[in-house]
Chains A and B, each alone.
Chain A
Amino acid sequence: MTKGLDRLRDLRAQGLLEKAYDEVPRLLAGETGEPEVGGLELRTAGRLLAGVDPAAVLAHRPATPVITVAVTGSCTVGPVRDPLTAELARHGMLARTVTGDHGAWLRDLTDPAGALRAADPEFTLCLLDAGAVFAEVPVPWRPEDVEEAAGRLVDRLAAIAADWPGTLVLNTLPLERRYTHQLVDHASRARLGALWRDANARLLRLVESSPRVVVIDLDPLLGGAVPVADPRLAQYAAVNLGAELLAGYAREVAHLVRSLRGRTRKCLVLDLDNTLWDGILAEDGPEGVAASGSLRGEAFHTFQRVVKQLAAQGVLLAVNSKNDAAAVREVLTGHPDLLLREDDFAAVRANWAPKDANLREIADELGLAPDACVFADDTPAERAQVRHGAPDVALVALGADPALHTTALLADGWFDTPALTDEDRARAGRYRGERRRRELRAGTGSYEEFLTGLDTRVDLGPPRAHEFPRLAQLTQRTNQFNLTGLRLREDELRAYAADPAHRLLLAARTADRFGDHGLTGALLGRYHESAGVLELENMWLSCRVLARAIEQACLAALLAAARDDGLNAVEARWLPTPRNHRARGFYPSCGFEDVTPPNRDPAAGERRYRHDLTRLPAMPDHVRVDPPVLERTGHRDG
């Protein structure tokens, strides 16, 4: 039995699981990133963790994210609870699960007074299996009957999806042999296969019309030769989705939750020797390493293609390798085999320093927290050192056979994101500009001179039609300068933007002489017309452009606009989150008065601020921004 699981049992036996909940991710992850607790044991861990009292964990660790998940479905759904609890625990999150009645998914999802809706779940999982369709066909059945029943099912789900309040997670329906081979002729079987896939395709396309719906495709999970279910448990207990399949499903859901909670990992840090190429540069020399041309070399080439594919979608790449910098530079620029080149990496650390120190430096250089990084290395000792010295970095345990590198890298959806935006595609280029900015910083005297040399421009105005996906992503990914921790979905942002008379929603696009940063900031507000007050509900600024006085410039421009528009005051608040403490003094630094009522619950730590618009803060002189036009209507009546 593994150390991690034993320790969990000990903690549980001593009644310390709640107090030590912050230890759990490390216990489950193991010392070298190889699944210390995997498969069956992870389920056992989930079983033990499912007994944890969320209130007691929060008493010890108030910042622990608690995720309310409702589970319903067309089969017995209880068995998903253990793996889901364990998978969320791997990410330091705590599951609060509400399970619907057996087989009553339709009622669970449509009854406004039902237990599921009453729990106000952030995530609702509706587990679907072929039984949901085949329960509705007569005996004997023809493919046409199945088509009709599947069509009805998807219609119902589409109607529910259209107005479900939280995130609704559906899945494709696996078609098992025990159904297809009830048909004896190949033509009918083919027809069944085609119409079944049509129904699944319609399900998958629900995400196009319903922004809060996520559909998990079970086919890739089943492709790993995982059985859909055990026929005996399916027959006797309606367990139509088996334990192994649910384990894979739970992993996908946990990554989805993480990404919607703004915790998508942003940077893939790679070792070089036997990770990106075959051989050891310091021993074999530049001519001795290979990433094509041989059976093994081609496997590294395949892996590089996968890494490049991730990079093209906004995953930053970095190198962390025990090698001489000059030799690495020579290979990265000149070696004929390489698909990934020096320019593909936002940061390169090739030296003989400990890899955990390098990782912390890389994170710092890119303006990221270590928990935004993933480190892939084929040497267990190196991974163990990173686990020890930079425990928040996720590890990918690559093995000795490069043909398995891709599977290992993609086993966890560390970089899963709700939606891809233009910003993601342009990210690598922006970080290249960032490298040149750092060079300017190193070459100029004071920070003021550096900022002046940057020539920063901000375009502050209502979001344009194509900007909503990026705007939602900004609110979801921004942690450090997110003044209340608020995160918004695309549909919520669109609703605010559609109501400019009562709500203020501004997007900030920034650029400087080294390039365009794109949409990097946002402000959300609400007008209280009777008092002539604009309540600033939140501000977000990407960490990439922090410390350039852009946040001060945006707020100064907004205050000027508010005064010009005849408002009496702007009010704002700061609510602490685990990551935004550095922004605590932001409003006072811009001339806001602290008006926090003295009897506020001190545990919440909320601060309230007010600016009476008599003396506006000066616009930072190295940032150019035009005051936005407020579109409220109240004061213009009559």
Chain B
Amino acid sequence: MDSLHGLMELVRDDLGVPLDIPGDADADLADLPGWDSLNLLRLVILLEENGHPVPVHRLLLARSLHEMYTLVKERR
């Protein structure tokens, strides 16, 4: 997961959210079909288990996948 594209693939393949990559990068999460709030928790766990420490409280407030990727990148 070294790019926005990689993050979006993770969301599509492991969370099962059908995404348009990269078209949905800036879409509001709530507008993504099949998105539910638990996905934020799943993503925090997935990223950290894959060795990407994340600022949890900020990630939980993120509104788009692009924003999330920026937060993860900042931590690195």
Q: Which residues of A contact B60 (CB under 8 A)?
A: 236-237
Docked pose: A47 CA to B11 CA in angstroms: 11
Is A103 an interface residue when CB atoms closer than 8 A count as contact? no
Q: Which residues of B contact A236 (CB under 8 A)?
A: 56-57, 60
Q: Which residues of A contact B40 (CB under 8 A)?
A: 237
Minimum CB–CB distance from B27 to chain A (whole Å) comes to 20
Interface string of B38-75 (1 = CB under 8 A from A): 10111011100100000011001000000000000000
Is B15 an interface residue when CB atoms closer than 8 A count as contact? yes
A213-245, CB < 8 A from B: 230, 232-233, 236-237, 239, 243
Are A239 and B41 in contact, CB atoms less than 8 angstroms apart? yes
A51 in complex: contacting residue of B16, B49, B56, B57, CB < 8 Å: B16
Docked pose: A47 CA to B38 CA in angstroms: 11
Q: Which residues of A contact B42 (CB under 8 A)?
A: 47, 79, 82
Minimum CB–CB distance from B4 to chain A (whole Å) comes to 21
B49 in complex: contacting residue of A40, A50, A76, A239, CB < 8 Å: A40
Q: Which residues of A contact B37 (CB under 8 A)?
A: 78
Are B45 and A243 in contact, CB atoms less than 8 angstroms apart? yes
Are B44 and A233 in contact, CB atoms less than 8 angstroms apart? yes
Q: Which residues of A contact B45 (CB under 8 A)?
A: 230, 233, 243
Q: Which residues of A contact B57 (CB under 8 A)?
A: 232, 236
A350-385, CB < 8 A from B: none
Are A47 and B49 in contact, CB atoms less than 8 angstroms apart? no
Are A237 and B16 in contact, CB atoms less than 8 angstroms apart? no
Is A435 an interface residue when CB atoms closer than 8 A count as contact? no
Docked pose: A242 CA to B75 CA in angstroms: 23
Docked pose: A243 CA to B47 CA in angstroms: 13
Is A26 an interface residue when CB atoms closer than 8 A count as contact? no
Is B26 an interface residue when CB atoms closer than 8 A count as contact? no
Q: Which residues of B contact A9 (CB under 8 A)?
A: 13
Are B14 and A44 in contact, CB atoms less than 8 angstroms apart? yes
Q: Which residue of A lies closest to B60 (CB)?
A: A236
Given contacts A237-B41, A243-B45, contact A232 B56 (CB under 8 A): yes
Is A48 an interface residue when CB atoms closer than 8 A count as contact? yes
- The number of chain B residues with a CB under 8 A from chain A is 17
Docked pose: A270 CA to B17 CA in angstroms: 44
Minimum CB–CB distance from B65 to chain A (whole Å) comes to 17
Docked pose: A233 CA to B16 CA in angstroms: 22
Minimum CB–CB distance from A447 to chain B (whole Å) comes to 56
Is A432 an interface residue when CB atoms closer than 8 A count as contact? no
Interface string of A25-53 (1 = CB under 8 A from B): 00000000000000010001001101100
Q: Which residues of A contact B14 (CB under 8 A)?
A: 44, 47
Q: Which residues of B contact A79 (CB under 8 A)?
A: 38, 41-42
Minimum CB–CB distance from B16 to chain A (whole Å) comes to 5
Docked pose: A48 CA to B41 CA in angstroms: 16
Docked pose: A613 CA to B57 CA in angstroms: 75
Minimum CB–CB distance from A243 to chain B (whole Å) comes to 5
Q: Which residues of A contact B41 (CB under 8 A)?
A: 76, 78-79, 233, 237, 239
Is A563 an interface residue when CB atoms closer than 8 A count as contact? no
Docked pose: A362 CA to B57 CA in angstroms: 57
Docked pose: A40 CA to B49 CA in angstroms: 8
Minimum CB–CB distance from B54 to chain A (whole Å) comes to 9
Is A12 an interface residue when CB atoms closer than 8 A count as contact? yes
Q: Which residues of A contact B38 (CB under 8 A)?
A: 78-79, 81
Minimum CB–CB distance from A156 to chain B (whole Å) comes to 27
Docked pose: A502 CA to B16 CA in angstroms: 53
Are A47 and B16 in contact, CB atoms less than 8 angstroms apart? yes
Are A47 and B15 in contact, CB atoms less than 8 angstroms apart? yes
Docked pose: A44 CA to B46 CA in angstroms: 9
Docked pose: A76 CA to B37 CA in angstroms: 11
Interface string of B3-47 (1 = CB under 8 A from A): 000000000011110000000000000000010011011101110
Minimum CB–CB distance from A249 to chain B (whole Å) comes to 16
Given contacts A79-B38, A79-B41, contact A12 B56 (CB under 8 A): no
Q: Which residue of B lies closest to A242 (CB)?
A: B45
Docked pose: A346 CA to B42 CA in angstroms: 47
Q: Which residues of B contact A44 (CB under 8 A)?
A: 14
Q: Which residues of B contact A76 (CB under 8 A)?
A: 41
Are B44 and A12 in contact, CB atoms less than 8 angstroms apart? no
Docked pose: A422 CA to B43 CA in angstroms: 49
Q: Which residue of B lies closest to A48 (CB)?
A: B16
Q: Which residues of B contact A48 (CB under 8 A)?
A: 16
Q: Which residues of A contact B34 (CB under 8 A)?
A: 51
Q: Which residue of B lies closest to A39 (CB)?
A: B49
Docked pose: A198 CA to B60 CA in angstroms: 37
Minimum CB–CB distance from A268 to chain B (whole Å) comes to 34
Docked pose: A570 CA to B35 CA in angstroms: 56
Q: Which residues of A contact B44 (CB under 8 A)?
A: 233
Q: Which residue of A lies closest to B13 (CB)?
A: A9
Q: Which 3 A-B pairs have the closest CB atoms?
A: A232-B56, A78-B38, A44-B14
Residue pairs across A and B with Cβ atoms less than 8 A apart, 6 shown, are: A9-B13, A51-B16, A78-B38, A78-B41, A230-B56, A232-B57
**Residues of A bordering B, CB below 8 Å:** 9, 12, 40, 44, 47-48, 50-51, 76, 78-79, 81-82, 230, 232-233, 236-237, 239, 243
Taking A47-B14, A78-B37 as known contacts, 9 extra A-B pairs with beta carbons closer than 8 A to each other, sorted by chain A number, are A47-B15, A76-B41, A78-B41, A79-B38, A81-B38, A233-B45, A233-B56, A237-B41, A243-B45
